[in-house]
Homo-oligomer: A and B are copies of this chain.
């Protein structure tokens, strides 16, 4: 990185080590072992050591950037706050933080915390005065003519996109999806721009850059990664100039869990719900569970579980089974979900 001249690249994308601090082994409920990140390159002695590492590469990165250049950095809660602080301290000007919402994250197997379902990206210009590249129209068009938001949904990198060695194991533990890099490059570079990735890894940045007609420089220490990245990028066929348009992904209806209905106060805790024929009644609790007492039998759980239990059925769609009382009669709680979907609830 030190060998590169001042002001020679338009954009930097960086996926630095996250400084994860994992304990012992983690197993899934089926006793299989989770293959975590235990590589040497992710080990730092302290926050201070990580901060020094971060400031060093960010300072070099800023030197190499053109005056109107910009940087993207990705991370998780383990490191992103330290990276963000260093970005501000080294003179970059933050433009947005962007959330990559994973459509298929790994669950929290022990039920000890929330499912870690996102990663954070920081987009920053070299300085407050930089006239950074932002292809507003392109992103808006690809988003069904709505302004592109700061939260992006993509699946994690799996299947045939994921690079595997001869042994069938993943070559790189943290390969990023190309779709993520596509959007970044489409939104913040022009064709012909030079993109630098100082933590090249499996070469996702290079593959996306070549595909989209951008030049790239990739820096990487590990020879296995370099070899895999070279082979991968060699296979990429650049798009012709006219095809550099992204396709919007059709979105399914937003999922609205029952707890949301209570959080919106469309139903209050303590409210009564009824089965269609009113032969079963349940009480709503603050946490979004239902409670039924019939004789000596007490049941509690989700609207679906409790609905199934009172009917002695294997499964039940609580949204259509449970009803609330209105002047005009019973209405299914699905009606309330619909209100939220349509934005009719404040």
B142 touching A113, Cβ below 8 Å: no
Question: Binary interface profile of A, 128-151, with partner B (CB < 8 Å = 1, else 0)?
Answer: 100000111011111111111111
The distance in angstroms between the C-alpha atoms of A47 and B299, with both chains bound, is 48
Question: Binary interface profile of A, 80-106, with partner B (CB < 8 Å = 1, else 0)?
Answer: 111111011101001111110101110
**Residue of B with least CB distance to A32:** B313
Identical copies of this chain, number? 2
A285 touching B85, Cβ below 8 Å: no
The distance in angstroms between the C-alpha atoms of A120 and B97, with both chains bound, is 10
A96 touching B116, Cβ below 8 Å: yes
Counting chain A residues whose Cβ lies within 8 A of the other chain, the interface size class is 35 or more
**A13 beta carbon closer than 8 Å to chain B:** no
**Residue of B with least CB distance to A312:** B31
Kindly list chain B residues whose C-beta atoms are within 8 Å of the C-beta of A245: 285, 291
B283 touching A115, Cβ below 8 Å: no
**Residue of B with least CB distance to A247:** B289
Kindly list chain B residues whose C-beta atoms are within 8 Å of the C-beta of A186: 286-287
* The one of B103, B145, B287 that contacts A302, using a Cβ cutoff of 8 Å: B145
B-contacting residues, A305-336, CB 8 Å: 305, 311, 313-316
Question: Binary interface profile of A, 170-194, with partner B (CB < 8 Å = 1, else 0)?
Answer: 0000000001001100100000000
